[in-house]
Amino acid sequence: MTSQRTRDRLIERLQQQGINNQRVLEVMRNTPRHLFVDEALSHRAYEDTALPIGFGQTISQPYIVARMTQMILASGMPSSVLEIGTGCGYQTAVLAQIVPQVYSVERIGALHQQAKKRLAELQLYNIELRHTDGNGGWPNLNYRFDRIMMTAACADIPRKLADQLNHNGEMILPYDDGDSQVLLKITRRHDEFETEAFESVSFVPLLPGIS
Ligand code: SAH
């Protein structure tokens, strides 16, 4: 069930759904998603569906991972990406095989530790992980990122995060208006922010504090 054929079928499905960035498709074909879920669920790892990872959290649906990664790359190769919500680390692993440097924060200590171990096992070394509340952005305030990807839904866009975007930097996030969630792209132009809305999505909520 984790065979190359099963993986190839997932990639075909992503292509049918409009994912056409060849690098994204190639990386997702070769990233072992089954290593990011519990062994009992590994036979479902190449289905195009979100799966539970414990602590009430999920590994994102492959289509969403592909879609958001493709959006991150749409206006050129960023030198750095900050991910909010490491979770199991799968999206982090996909990003790290494409962009030069990935930073990722997770509020749940046990998930942070597990992701750290898995990503080291995959020998992905261009990743920095922190156990912290992503509402505050990356702990070192001097950092500025070309892209920020939020993988948990928020109702208010955290100001500190927006402040950590470079000029012309872009933030991709699931925005929750109380009724439904939509994927937003926010582009920073000096001190102004432009917003563009895309398809509706379903993410776990961005929560405050750490645990
Ligand atoms: N990127 C993951 C998605 C994980 S689900 C993947 O590849 O599948 C979203 C994650 O965001 C959860 O692990 C949750 O604990 C985390 N999260 C929620 N609020 C957060 C916050 N304020 N700061 C950091 N992480 C947060």
- Which residue puts its alpha carbon closest to atom 14 of ligand 1? 85
The per-residue pLDDT for 90 is: 98
165/186 Cα distance (integer angstroms): 10
Residue 210 lies in a domain: no
What total number of domains does the chain contain? 1
Task: Please give the distance, rounded to the nearest whole angstrom, from the Cα atom of residue 211 to the centre of ligand 1.
Answer: 12
Neighbours of 100 (CB within 10 A): 12
Residue 175 lies in a domain: yes
Residue 9 lies in a domain: no
CATH number for 127? 3.40.50.150
Nearest C-alpha neighbor of 80 from the set 129, 13, 148, 130: 148
- The atom number, within ligand 1, closest to the CA of 90 reads 7
The per-residue pLDDT for 140 is: 80
Instruction: Write out the catalytic residue numbers.
Output: 60
87/105 Cα distance (integer angstroms): 9
Residue 29 lies in a domain: no
- Which residue puts its alpha carbon closest to atom 10 of ligand 1? 85
The CA-atom distances, in angstroms, between 19 and each of 5, 110, 111 are 19, 32, 28
- Which residue puts its alpha carbon closest to atom 17 of ligand 1? 85
The per-residue pLDDT for 186 is: 96
Residue 126 lies in a domain: yes
Residue type, position 86, single letter: T
Task: Please give the distance, rounded to the nearest whole angstrom, from the Cα atom of residue 84 to the centre of ligand 1.
Answer: 6
pLDDT one digit per residue (tens) for the chain, 211 residues: 678 899 999 999 999 999 999 999 999 999 999 999 999 999 999 999 999 999 999 999 999 999 999 999 999 999 999 999 999 999 999 999 999 999 999 999 999 999 999 999 999 999 999 999 999 999 987 889 999 999 999 999 988 999 999 999 999 999 999 999 999 999 999 999 999 999 999 999 999 999 9
The per-residue pLDDT for 1 is: 60
Question: Would you state the structure tokens that stand for residue 61, as one six-digit string?
Answer: 């649906």
**H or E segment and range at residue 130:** strand 127-131
| Full domain range(s) for residue 160 | 63-201
Is residue 134 within 8 Å of residue 153, measured between CB atoms? no
Task: Please give the distance, rounded to the nearest whole angstrom, from the Cα atom of residue 19 to the centre of ligand 1.
Answer: 23
Residue 35 lies in a domain: no
Residue 16 lies in a domain: no
Question: Would you state the structure tokens that stand for residue 56, as one six-digit string?
Answer: 């009430």
Is residue 200 within 8 Å of residue 175, measured between CB atoms? no
211/206 Cα distance (integer angstroms): 13
